């Protein structure tokens, strides 16, 4: 093992060996990039209302070109959520007016170390383990999928509460199964002598076997985050620019002289990485058997992401999210590549994510865990994100762009709609109608909060909204020829890409046990990559569940 990493900390959580938690911090010095001017609550509510798009979602037999991102399958929405749960957890109540960022504890280690899966290790949290393996729950059926979920999470009877390193990974029935796939990966590797040896460890010694299996999973997971997930969500060239292959990563903004270890930037956790909320679909199909709440319905609507129905067979709600029979995911419904059975009677799979834009699907305006809370707008995820950004005293989008040397989007574009490639003379009627509806909703915000002489939003756009609108405007380069390219949102724009890429690469670089510090270099092991030219999320899942 010594030849593979310069500082193998084993299963100690944290950015430094033995450090259980991390700290939040600021990527941009508030003396240079001033916090945004505080907006009235009414302004936050107006923006949040304009960001919600009522949409029940199309049936599994249809595509939604206006809303769907054809370059990004839906599985990446929830992989991003899983990554977020691996690196950040801030339980600060939303009713706090402001917080001291320097004193804010990150209750996850700011490192891509899977502490949300491994917890603090088998010595400290033995209830997560069965010998060298992580515990699994009851067997699941995935509709005959070639690559499908095999087990539910391990749960306490009769409550159904999962035994996890981070309970948030049970907040919906999709992210819980990503967690389960990574458990399956560990359990498969820890029992494979050949893989353990190929990593330079002795399979006859249980501690070596366990440490090697954990490192193998972590490094393949980190590889996917860097070389698959980041490449897909960032604008082309950004990952290479920041990573600087063969040299030292260009972390101009993430690395700070006063921070000698990894930290969690609030600009990332409170704004940039919340782009994933816009990717959430209002409904999903799981497999060829579980694709609708009503199998007799002619239009076969997908299962709602959230609903108020307490029946676990009527939505994707979690907490606890005990999987009903046959609700295992066919991963061909969520990831591209070759994942076995992926077709049904006219099904359109894999299901795409929704576009990265300044619009959120209707169900996110009424979060299940806050049902009954008053006033109504506190249940709206868009409002909650905007309020949290203000509580963290984040800078405006324009201020960050100027600091990065990027020309800020003008207010007239920020509060308009459509991408830079939108051409009303060439766009289809559905695209034109969608742009017109969004433009009208934003025009109300602009009239009330920008056009007046005391307009609070003039040059003062909340960072989260700015990053989403920037993605909507600039996010057209992964596939500039797709039919609804006028809606944009295929990937993040320059500000969002820079913050996200520097943060994730910065955490890998600051973690001396990450694969970036492998003494001999690292590439996915042949026994795991199985001949794939690129090791991507679908390959990781296919190995784990194959």
The answer as to whether 469 is a domain residue is: no
* Domain that includes residue 346, residue range: 22-394+495-527
- Residue 330 backbone phi and psi in degrees, to 5: -85, 110
DSSP per residue, 179-196 = HHHHHHHHHHHHT-HHHH
Using DSSP, state whether 467 is helix, strand or coil: helix
The answer as to whether 428 is a domain residue is: no
pLDDT at 344: 53
pLDDT at 93: 60
Dump pLDDT digits (tens) for 441-497. 999 999 999 999 889 999 999 999 999 999 999 999 999 999 999 999 999 999 999
Dump pLDDT digits (tens) for 497-522. 999 999 999 999 999 999 999 988 89
pLDDT at 8: 32
Binned at pLDDT 50, 70 and 90, residue 13 comes out as: very low
Q: Rounded mean pLDDT of 36-61?
A: 92
In contact, 45 and 133? CB cutoff 8 Å: no
CA distance 381 to 48: 8
Range name among 52-66, 324-338, 496-510 with the lowest pLDDT average: 52-66
Print burial letters for 203-230: b (CB count within 10 Å at least 16), e (below 16): beeeebbbbbbbbbbbbbbbbbbbbbbb
pLDDT at 293: 58
Better pLDDT: 152 or 531 = 152
The answer as to whether 477 is a domain residue is: no
Binned at pLDDT 50, 70 and 90, residue 57 comes out as: confident
Range name among 109-118, 340-349, 362-371 with the lowest pLDDT average: 340-349
State yes or no: pLDDT of 15 exceeds 60.
no
381, burial (CB in 10 Å: exposed 0-12, middle 13-18, buried 19+): buried
CA distance 437 to 427: 15
Non-local (6+) Cβ contacts of 65 within 8 A are 430, 431, 482, 483, 484
Strands, sheet with 264-265, edge to edge from the N-terminal-most edge strand: 105-106, 22-25, 264-265
State yes or no: pLDDT of 149 exceeds 80.
yes
The answer as to whether 508 is a domain residue is: yes
pLDDT at 294: 63
Using DSSP, state whether 37 is helix, strand or coil: coil
Q: Which of 316, 272, 333 is nearest to 503 (CA)?
A: 272
Binned at pLDDT 50, 70 and 90, residue 22 comes out as: low
Binned at pLDDT 50, 70 and 90, residue 89 comes out as: confident
> Quick one: what percent of the chain has pLDDT higher than 70?
89
CA distance 134 to 369: 29
Q: Please, what is the Cα angle at 44 between 41 and 45, to 5 degrees? A: 85
Range name among 161-170, 211-220, 363-372, 414-423 with the lowest pLDDT average: 363-372
Q: Rounded mean pLDDT of 30-59?
A: 93
16, burial (CB in 10 Å: exposed 0-12, middle 13-18, buried 19+): middle
Arithmetic mean of pLDDT over the chain: 88
pLDDT at 72: 97
DSSP per residue, 220-260 = HHHHHIIIIIHHHHSPTTHHHHHH-TTS----TTT-BTTB-
The answer as to whether 470 is a domain residue is: no
pLDDT at 19: 44
Q: Which of 444, 398, 399, 396 is nearest to 417 (CA)?
A: 444
pLDDT at 11: 36
State yes or no: pLDDT of 322 exceeds 70.
yes
Helix, strand, coil content of the chain in percent (nearest 5):
40, 10, 55
The answer as to whether 442 is a domain residue is: no
The enclosing H or E element of 52 equals strand 52-53
Q: Please, what is the Cα angle at 198 between 193 and 200, to 5 degrees? A: 100
In contact, 111 and 14? CB cutoff 8 Å: yes
State yes or no: pLDDT of 538 exceeds 70.
yes
Range name among 87-96, 306-315, 365-374 with the lowest pLDDT average: 87-96
Q: Rounded mean pLDDT of 21-27?
A: 80
The answer as to whether 399 is a domain residue is: no
Please tell me the total count of domains within the chain.
1
DSSP per residue, 392-453 = TTPBBHHHHHHHTT-PPPPHHHHTS-S-TT--TTTS-HHHHHHHHHHHHHHHHHHHHHTSST
Predicted structure pTM score = 0.93
State yes or no: pLDDT of 289 exceeds 70.
yes
In contact, 498 and 470? CB cutoff 8 Å: no
pLDDT at 103: 58
The answer as to whether 6 is a domain residue is: no
Note the helical H segments in 450-487. 463-474
pLDDT at 114: 95
Non-local (6+) Cβ contacts of 123 within 8 A are none
Q: Rounded mean pLDDT of 320-337?
A: 88
Dump pLDDT digits (tens) for 373-409. 777 778 899 999 999 999 999 999 999 999 999 999 9
């Amino acid at each position: 093992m010594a030849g593979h990493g310069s500082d193998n900390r084993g299963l100690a959580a944290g950015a430094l060996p033995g450090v259980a938690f991390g700290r939040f911090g600021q990527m941009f010095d508030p003396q240079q990039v001033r916090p945004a001017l505080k907006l009235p609550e009414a302004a936050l509510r107006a923006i949040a209302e304009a960001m919600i798009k009522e949409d029940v979602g199309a049936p599994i037999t249809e595509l939604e070109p206006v809303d769907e991102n054809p370059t990004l399958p839906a599985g990446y929405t929830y992989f991003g959520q899983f990554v977020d749960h691996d690196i950040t957890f801030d339980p600060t109540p939303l009713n706090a007016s402001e917080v001291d960022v320097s004193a804010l504890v990150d209750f996850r280690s700011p490192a891509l170390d899977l502490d949300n899966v491994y917890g603090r290790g088998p010595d400290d949290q033995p209830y997560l383990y069965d010998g060298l393996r992580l515990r699994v729950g009851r067997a699941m059926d995935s509709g005959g999928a070639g690559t499908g979920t095999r087990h539910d999470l391990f749960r306490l009877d009769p409550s159904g509460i999962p035994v996890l390193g981070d309970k948030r990974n049970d907040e919906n029935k999709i992210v819980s199964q990503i967690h389960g796939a990574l458990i399956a990966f560990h359990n498969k590797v820890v029992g494979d002598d050949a893989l353990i040896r190929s990593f330079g460890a002795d399979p006859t010694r249980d501690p070596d076997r366990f440490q090697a299996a954990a490192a193998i999973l972590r490094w393949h997971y980190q590889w996917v985050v860097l070389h698959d997930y980041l490449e897909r969500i960032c604008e082309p060239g950004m990952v290479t620019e920041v990573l600087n292959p063969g040299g030292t990563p260009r972390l101009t903004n993430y690395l700070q002289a006063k921070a000698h270890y990894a930290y969690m930037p609030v600009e990332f956790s409170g704004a940039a990485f919340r782009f994933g909320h816009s990717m959430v679909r209002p409904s999903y199909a799981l497999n060829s058997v579980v694709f609708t709440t009503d199998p007799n319905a002619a239009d076969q609507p997908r299962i709602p992401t959230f609903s108020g129905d307490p029946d676990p067979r009527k939505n994707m709600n979690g907490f606890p999210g005990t999987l009903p029979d046959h609700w295992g995911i066919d991963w061909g419904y969520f990831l591209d590549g070759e994942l076995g059975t992926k077709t049904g009677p006219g099904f359109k799979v894999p299901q795409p994510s929704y576009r990265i834009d300044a619009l959120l699907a209707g169900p996110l305006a009424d979060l299940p865990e806050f049902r009954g809370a008053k006033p109504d707008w506190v249940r709206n995820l868009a409002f909650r994100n905007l309020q949290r950004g203000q509580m963290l005293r984040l800078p405006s989008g324009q201020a960050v762009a100027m600091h990065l040397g990027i020309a800020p989007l003008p207010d007239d574009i920020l509060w308009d709609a459509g991408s830079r490639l939108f051409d009303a003379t060439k766009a289809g009627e559905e695209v034109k109608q969608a742009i017109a509806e969004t433009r009208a909703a934003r025009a109300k915000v602009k009239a009330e909060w920008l056009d007046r002489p005391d307009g609070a939003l003039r040059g003062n756009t909340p960072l989260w909204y700015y990053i989403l609108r920037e993605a909507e405007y600039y996010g057209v380069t992964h596939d500039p020829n797709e039919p609804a390219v006028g809606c944009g949102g295929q990937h993040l724009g320059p500000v969002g890409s820079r913050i996200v890429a520097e943060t994730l690469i910065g955490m890998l670089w600051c973690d001396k046990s990450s694969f970036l510090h492998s003494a001999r270099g690292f590439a996915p092991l042949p026994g795991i990559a199985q001949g794939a030219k690129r090791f991507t999320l679908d390959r990781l899942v296919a190995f784990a569940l194959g």
